[in-house]
A and B are shown apart, each in its own frame.
Chain A
Amino acid sequence: MMKPEARKNLLFQEAGGETLVYDLERHRAHCLDRLAALLLKACDGSRDPGELAALVSRELEQDIPLEVVEVGLERLARARLVSWDPEKQPPEGLERRKALSRLALAGLALPSVLTLASPLSAQIGTRITPGQCKKAGGNLGRCCTNNKLCILVGSNGACSGPPC
């Protein structure tokens, strides 16, 4: 079984008790609650879900059951923030709803992951096309990502993703 591992090329920003995560490869922004953020940061590929449950329980100073951690990992994996191949596939449909409501009835807060795709500049009315962005060369950034958009990351101007 593969142990859960956080993907590379993620930017983190705290926002009032929650954590914003930006995926530099897929251009998705995510909002994670505290439990989901702790889980994501702890997923280094060396810990299995049981060890992660123990770790986050220590951090949060409350008992976090394995089922809650598995729901969190599943949500992080669905948002493509974590690579994880679970031993047992999570239940789908009605079974899944029943499992989640059982956890909720037990008074357990489930990890929350909210995702959105960051828009192309053209989608918010600027009419700058990705092609134009790419052809603008060094003026918009030194590098560009898989989908040919120029990108400049961080204050040091480090480049993320393969060069065009």
Chain B
Amino acid sequence: MAQVAGIPFYPSDSRCMRRLDELPWKEGLAFTVWGVRLGLRTMDPTVLPAVLPLLPPGWHPAGTLRVQWLYSWASRKARRRGNPAIHTLYSGPYHMNQGSNVERLSLTLAADVQAQLALRSPWRVFVHAGVVGWRGKAIVLPGRSGVGKSTLTAALVRLGASFFSDEFAVLDHKGRVYPYPLPLRFPRKDGPGSLRVPLEELGGRSAQGPLPVGMVAVLRFLPSTGLRVHALSPGRAALELVAQAVQARIRPFAVLRAAASTSAEAVLLKGHRGEAEEAARFLLEKLDS
């Protein structure tokens, strides 16, 4: 769809939003991804080129400037000559972050865009999980941050699995999973925050098109233990997926249906793992058998 020129807008009664509307916006972009229409407006022409590569995969320009959620990136010159400009980022009417580091603010914006997308998508159910494809089936690894999803996903990719996502399993009502290939994120060992590793650095390949789910494995990393897993019933596996579904409280009917379809035909496992490579080999062999 052709991009509509102009500044995107978000109709709101909020006083904060009305005050933001009065600022002198120079550029903007309205875009659609997974059925959600989002917008960004800026005062600084250098911002959009920095942000575009960080938008979720599959985005395209929207056919209208009226959006469901609007980001506002305000900029002003520093008071002292020679100092960098100060940027302030708003998500809707909410103040998100402020500073002169455009890259850092861009990452904040990208994370919030993903969150809004996962929360608002009317077509898909977003489950916090790592996902890879293997011989025509997908392996879904649901779990919250810190349980070792990204490490296990990376180990599976190194063994030849195709990469879907290490952030969200994007499910439809038939239980198929769609690729959502953002760079893998690992916790930094030297401090807070996360380290983004492009797929190419792992020698992996990106998945194409949706796949039916062949396995749901709820594994938690415990350094002192080896691999210990037991089978889950379809209902209990579906409950594990509901526990990680972003829209569980907003679209419970869609979430229950997607979770039930996903676990209907799959191998279902739960347990602890030690080293990621051992667990990855086990999962691939189990799916093949």
Contacts and interface: CB of A to CB of B under 8 A. Distances in A.
Nearest to B268: A16
A125 B119 CA distance: 11
Contacts of A119: 243-245, 248
Interface size class of B (residues with CB under 8 A): 35 or more
A29 B242 CA distance: 8
Interface size class of A (residues with CB under 8 A): 35 or more
A148 to B, nearest CB: 11
A31 B246 contact: no
B144 A17 contact: no
Interface in B218-273: 233-236, 238-239, 242-253, 256-257, 259-260, 263-264
Judged by DSSP, the binding face of B is helix
A118 B235 contact: no
B242 A128 contact: no
Contacts, number: 134
Contacts of A29: 239, 242-243, 248, 252, 256
Contacts of A11: 252-253, 256
Contacts of A128: 115-116, 119
Contacts of B124: none
B249 A151 contact: yes
A17 B128 CA distance: 25
A127 B119 contact: no
Nearest to A145: B249
A27 B238 CA distance: 16
A126 B119 contact: yes
A118 B252 contact: yes
Given A132-B94, A136-B92, A139-B68, A121 B249 contact: yes
Interface in A53-111: none
A31 B3 CA distance: 46
Contacts of B87: none
Interface of B: 12, 14, 68-69, 92-94, 111-112, 114-116, 118-120, 128, 144-145, 233-236, 238-239, 242-253, 256-257, 259-260, 263-264
Interface of A: 11, 13-20, 22, 24, 27, 29-33, 114, 116, 118-121, 123-128, 132-133, 135-137, 139-141, 145, 149-155
